[in-house]
Amino acid sequence: MTTRHLPLATAMLLALASPSLAQQGTPGAQMMAQWDGDADGKVTLEEAITKRGDVFYMFDGDNDGSLSAEDWAMVAEHMAMEMEIKAETQGQAMANGAGRGMGKGPGQVMGNGQGMGQGMGQGMGMGNPMGPGAAMRQAMTPAFNDTDGDGVVTDAEFTAATQKLFPMLDHNGDGVLTMDDFARW
């Protein structure tokens, strides 16, 4: 990474860390805070395309309208930093009892009174490996975005790939992303 990318990557990391720390343990909260342009609690396809366009230009270090190998290295570094922050944040949330439990608690009674629902926050949450984070990581790879297979990802390809990403996140298929979509993972 060149030195001119370091301040950008650091600034992005700090900008992304603040919402994630404030919204510990709430799936999708960070993405909604960043992508919901009009703050109406919904992310439309148009808002997602706009945000991905912004993301593209954050990583297009030489401003040539395509992502080079150096740019993709910066993307990978940024994604690794986000994962590190998320792991630390989730560790703090787990230490505070924010896990999902399986045991006695509110839920449907199954014969002998054992609940099958949310426990009392003592479990070790089980994340879905195919959840929204995995979709977002996949969407930040050259393979996901290089639609013509020429080894170069242009702004047009990157933003057009939002058409593939959006339905992966829109769990209820209603055409908008809400916190409900993330709660379904």
Across the chain, which has 185 residues, the per-10-residue mean pLDDT values are 46 44 65 94 97 96 94 93 80 50 42 41 42 88 95 96 96 94 78
pLDDT of residue 127: 42
Residue 37 gets which letter from DSSP?
T
pLDDT of residue 130: 60
CA atoms of 170 and 180, how far apart (whole Å): 9
pLDDT of residue 92: 57
- Give the tokens for residue 25: 């343990």
- Give the tokens for residue 113: 């009174």
- 106 phi and psi angles, rounded to 5 deg: -60, 135
pLDDT of residue 123: 36
pLDDT of residue 90: 66
CA distances from 152 to 6, 15, 59, 148 (A): 23, 28, 14, 9
In terms of pTM, does the model score above 0.75? no
pLDDT of residue 182: 85
CA atoms of 86 and 80, how far apart (whole Å): 10
CA atoms of 108 and 89, how far apart (whole Å): 31
Residue 130 gets which letter from DSSP?
T
- Specify burial of residue 30 (Cβ count, 10 A radius: 0-12, 13-18, 19+): buried
